[in-house]
Amino acid sequence: MIDKTDDVIVFIDNGYLKKVSARFKSQNVFCCDIKKFAINLAKEQKLFCKKIYFYDAPPFEDNKFKSKKYSEYIHNLKTRGIIVREGRCQKILIDKIKQLYTYKQKGVDTHITMDLLTCAFEKKAAHFILISADTDFVPAIEKIKEFKIKVILYCLKNKNRNFFLSNHLLNACDFVGLIKKEHFE
């Protein structure tokens, strides 16, 4: 049974949020107050932020400075009551001659999907806010709505390839809100 009809759980895909926040703030992804950000989104919807789930993948092991800063940031989130789920970072060779690599998050979407569905099955809140642009979540969103839970998507609507949103994802949600600079303040 859902506790209160104005409760919301916020699910944050930090891989996406890093790109979005860089549009509004400095490039330092560790300066965003995640709790304040989630509460601001909930308040905009006239909802109470009951819980925050934060998803990311730690930096690849060969960057000690980033790894230390990331660990401190994650520890800070956990001490503030934010539930953190981590995937892993995969290093992919893109140019053997120049020894160029790219890095991809792995397992993060699975964590998000599992938590979305678990919270829906357990009826933890009447509303979910999802910060992502990934159409892989559409089947989970459709299942969640069977439990009469409203799904609110917050995103950056932009024609830029990094932020392109599929109508499939937009149409699956009950409401779509645009992330604004004020949400980070």
Q: Give me the CATH number covering residue 100.
A: 3.40.50.1010
Cα dihedral: 75, 76, 81, 82 (round 10): -80
Q: Is the pLDDT of residue 15 over 50?
A: yes
* CB atoms near residue 158 (< 10 Å): 14
Q: Is residue 1 part of a domain?
A: no
Q: Is the pLDDT of residue 102 over 80?
A: no
Q: Is the pLDDT of residue 63 over 70?
A: no
Q: Is residue 2 part of a domain?
A: no
Higher pLDDT, 60 or 54: 54
User: Average pLDDT, stretch 139-148?
Assistant: 96
Pick the closest to residue 43 from 123, 127, 122 (CA basis).
127
Token reading at 156: 């950056």
User: Average pLDDT, stretch 130-145?
Assistant: 94
What range does the domain containing 94 cover?
7-184
- What pLDDT is stored for residue 27 in this prediction? 41
Q: How many domains does the chain have?
A: 1
User: Average pLDDT, stretch 29-39?
Assistant: 81
Q: What is the CA radius of gyration of the chain?
A: 17
| pLDDT over 70, % of the chain | 81
Of the spans 21-25, 31-35, 95-99, which averages the highest pLDDT?
A: 31-35
Model pTM?
0.86
Q: What is the C-alpha separation between 14 and 178, in angstroms, rounded?
A: 16
